[in-house]
Chain A
Amino acid sequence: EIVLTQSPGTLSLSLGERATLSCRASQSVSGRYLAWYQQRPGQAPRLLIYDASSRATGIPDRFSGSGSGTDFTLTISRLEPEDLAVYYCQQYGSSPLTFGGGTKVET
């Protein structure tokens, strides 16, 4: 099983600042099959990034993903109020599919 470790657990920033979230895998993620999801309070998760760096439909370009192998990053270039949420990474290249523990972005 691939274990995903996200850091930091909580990221405290000001609006307009750049947010950098990390997701480290215990072994190489097959085919760059790494996704990022946003979960706002009381809502279902929403797909932001798939295949490590491709933005899902309707996702603003301030969100970007990068990385390969075991190290992946989600960057929010300028934090907006609606970006305050918990972000999860997920690998979907090998079974069992696994999620990271999440990073909470707050002000």
Chain B
Amino acid sequence: QEQLVQSGSELKKPGASVKVSCQASGYSFITYALHWVRQAPGQGLEWMGWINTNTANPTYGQGFTGRFVFSLDTSDSTAYLQISSLKAEDTAIYYCARRTSLAFDMWGQGTKVTVSS
């Protein structure tokens, strides 16, 4: 069946980097864009940006430029979110979500990233 499966929880120290994966299955990966959404502890949903899975062109939302990189491995139907120079305020659950004409119709299960010394 169609699904997005994300990598497991991460515990990182400030200043380190993390790479979160989002693997798609059950549909043609390059047909639909993938978006990234952040949810800080006890907070709401925040759109981070998206990547065109056909061209690999990323678009970053405000506040997500510089340290955040979206990338793809189309041979493996996988999207990646890399965050460098981690800060305590990057502690959050990060979701990937598929965008179709039906909005975000499918979500990954989320990856918890904790930044702590």
Contact = CB atoms under 8 A, between A and B. Distances in A.
B62 A90 contact: no
Nearest to B4: A44
A56 interface: yes
Given A44-B95, A99-B47, A37 B105 contact: no
A47 B62 CA distance: 24
Contacts of A99: 44-47
B27 interface: no
B110 A97 contact: no
B102 A45 contact: no
Given A56-B102, A90-B103, A44 B47 contact: no
Q: How large is the interface on B (under 10, 10 to 19, 20 to 34, 35 or more residues)?
A: 20 to 34
Interface string A55-97: 0100000000000000000000000000000101010100111
Contacts of B97: 45
Q: How large is the interface on A (under 10, 10 to 19, 20 to 34, 35 or more residues)?
A: 20 to 34
A102 B45 CA distance: 8
A95 B108 CA distance: 22
- Nearest 10 A-B pairs (CB), nearest first? A35-B103, A44-B107, A50-B103, A99-B45, A97-B47, A50-B102, A102-B44, A96-B61, A101-B44, A47-B105
Interface of A: 1, 33, 35, 37, 39, 44-47, 50-51, 54, 56, 86, 88, 90, 92, 95-102
Interface of B: 35, 37, 44-47, 59, 61-62, 95, 97, 99, 102-110
